[in-house]
């Protein structure tokens, strides 16, 4: 018999395998919403006789593609997360991510493995609007945009603070967002991982007394770097056991690392390799909106960094000069953004990641 859990407590009701299959079939009907259909399709995959499921990658770092994930590996990943976060039977978890992608799927698997009550809401940008005030949520996973939106009103911020343990993934947590959640109640973690590693393989506390800029790997995960300084992770529960990433890191101990940025974002400025995410962290406290550092071609230096702001209002030349003058003391000479570009609304992937290239092209009318 397969060691795959096949029962689930959903919105307070316990479903046996047969009941869950009936529910799944009802969810995939045309009259249901897209997020309900996605949940139904995942449950049908999970409960079939195959030992794997097919998952689409998000496409944030390349072309979306279908990959195969072993169900037993997903169970092991869920078990490791539960041990790390001390998830307990009977607790309530919030599903506010689409189960068309691995992050949402794994919330369902974690609920099955740890016998949690899974509360479902539409995976919108404002999921807490669907949660009644006073509802006890012990565990939730969100993308950064959902957390950012929750901080826009006191009511939703209180709901966010009431979550016992919140993990944020799908995209790096910006320094600005990290500063906003630093003093909130509960336990809040940034995660590191990807579809191929079955979501996260490391977590970092970003609020309270345990706040840190160091990621701690889950038990059993090994860490190394390649010649370019990119992380090479040993993940024992996946096929092949090794994942090569494009993430630049500093390994601080055998089981921990500091994330620097993406190798494919690096700016080559006159032979000096600049990591945009490092620059962003230095200037985040000076900028009150979403932003990122990008490269533009330069005849003399090859590439130079520029600042791209999410803003629905124009900045006059004097206002731009003032902002740049505030930034200048906080960065090295090569890191200093030479220009500012504005984008009324950043483009995002389906699971809430900022699409830097598309957002930059919109800002520059390309």
Tens of pLDDT, residue by residue over 198-235, are: 989 999 999 999 999 999 999 999 999 999 999 999 99
What is the per-residue pLDDT for 354?
82
Separation of alpha carbons 304 and 3, rounded Å: 54
CA angle centred on 278, ends 277 and 283, rounded to 5°:
95
Q: What is the CATH number of the domain that holds 93?
A: 3.40.50.12780
* Phi, psi (rounded to 5 degrees) for 295: -105, 145
Please give the Cα distance from 231 to 167 (Å, whole number): 21
Position 1 scores a pLDDT of: 35
Total structural domains in the chain? 2
The CATH number covering residue 296 comes to: 3.30.300.30
- Inside any domain, residue 229: no
Residue where a domain stops, chosen among 216, 234, 250: 216
Asked whether residue 63 falls in the same domain as residue 172, the answer is: yes
Asked whether residue 186 falls in the same domain as residue 41, the answer is yes
Q: What is the CA radius of gyration of the chain?
A: 21
Residues 91 and 116 sit within 8 Å (Cβ to Cβ): yes
In a domain? residue 256: no
**pLDDT tens, position by position, 67-93:** 899 999 999 999 999 999 999 999 999
How many helices (H) and strands (E) the chain has is answered by: 10, 20
Examine the domain organization and report whether 192 and 304 are in the same domain. Answer: no
Spatial distance between the Cα atoms of 283 and 269, rounded to a whole number of angstroms: 19
Helix (H/G/I), strand (E/B), else coil: 214: coil
Could you say which of 177, 201, 216 is where a domain stops? Answer: 216
Query: Is residue 231 a part of any domain in this protein?
Result: no
- Domain check: are 288 and 347 in the same one? yes
Q: How far is CA 313 from CA 84, 291, 341, in A?
A: 44, 14, 12
Tell me: do 167 and 300 sit in the same domain.
no
196 and 314 fall within a common domain: no
pLDDT at 352: 64
Residues 6+ apart with CB under 8 A from 234: 221, 222, 223, 224, 241, 242
C-beta separation of 235 from 265 below 8 A:
no
Does residue 321 sit in the same domain as residue 210?
Answer: no
Interior angle at CA 25, CA 170 and CA 52, nearest 5: 50
Together in a domain, 212 and 297:
no
In-domain check, residue 335? yes
32, 24 Cβ separation under 8 angstroms: no
Strands (E), 130-278: 139-142, 165-168, 187-194, 199-205, 215-217, 222-225, 230-234, 242-253, 256-262, 267-269, 272-274
Answer yes or no: is 21 within a domain.
Answer: yes
Q: Are residues 212 and 136 in the same domain?
A: yes
Domain that holds residue 53: 8-216
Q: Which of 72, 176, 155, 143 is nearest to 353 (CA)?
A: 143
Whether 207 and 274 share a structural domain = no
Does 223 reside within a domain? Answer: no
As a three-state string, the secondary structure of 142-159 is ECHHHHHHHCCCHHHHHH
Indicate if 184 and 278 belong to the same structural domain.
no
Give pLDDT, residue 59.
54
- The residues of the chain scoring below 70 in pLDDT are 1-2, 58-64, 350-352, 366
How far apart are the C-alpha atoms of 249 and 214, rounded to whole Å? 10
| Continuous segment of H or E residues that includes residue 56 | strand 52-56
């Amino acid at each position: 018999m397969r060691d795959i859990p096949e029962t689930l407590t959903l919105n307070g009701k316990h479903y046996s395998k047969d009941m869950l299959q009936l529910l799944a079939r009802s969810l995939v009907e045309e009259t249901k919403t897209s997020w309900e259909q996605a949940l139904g399709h995942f449950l049908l995959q999970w409960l079939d006789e195959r030992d794997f499921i097919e998952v689409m990658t998000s496409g944030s770092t390349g072309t979306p593609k279908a990959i195969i994930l072993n169900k037993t590996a997903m169970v092991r990943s869920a078990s490791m997360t539960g041990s790390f976060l001390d998830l307990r039977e009977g607790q309530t978890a919030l599903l506010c991510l689409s189960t068309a992608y691995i992050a949402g799927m794994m919330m369902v698997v974690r609920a099955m493995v740890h016998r949690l009550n899974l509360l479902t809401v539409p995976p919108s940008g404002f999921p807490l609007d669907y949660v009644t005030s006073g509802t006890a949520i012990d565990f939730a996973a969100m993308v950064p945009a959902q957390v950012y939106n929750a901080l826009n009103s006191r009511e939703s911020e209180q709901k966010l603070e009431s979550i016992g343990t919140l993990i944020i993934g799908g995209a790096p947590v910006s320094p600005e967002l990290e500063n906003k959640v630093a003093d909130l109640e509960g336990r809040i973690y940034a995660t590191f991982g990807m579809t191929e590693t079955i979501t996260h393989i490391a977590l970092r506390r970003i609020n309270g007394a345990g706040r840190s800029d160091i990621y701690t790997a889950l038990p059993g995960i090994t860490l190394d770097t390649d010649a370019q300084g990119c992380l090479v992770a040993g993940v024992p529960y996946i096929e092949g056991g090794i994942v090569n990433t494009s993430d630049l890191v500093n390994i601080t101990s055998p089981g921990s690392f500091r994330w620097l940025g993406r190798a494919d974002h690096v700016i080559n400025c006159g032979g000096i390799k600049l990591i945009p995410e490092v620059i962003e962290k230095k200037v985040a406290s000076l900028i009150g909106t979403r932003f990122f550092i990008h490269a533009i071609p330069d005849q003399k230096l090859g590439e130079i960094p520029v600042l791209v702001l999410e803003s629905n209002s124009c900045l006059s030349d004097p206002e731009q000069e003032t902002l740049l003058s505030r930034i200048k003391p906080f960065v090295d000479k090569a890191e200093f953004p030479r220009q500012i570009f504005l984008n009324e609304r950043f483009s995002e992937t389906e699971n809430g990641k900022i699409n830097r290239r598309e957002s930059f092209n919109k800002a520059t009318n390309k």
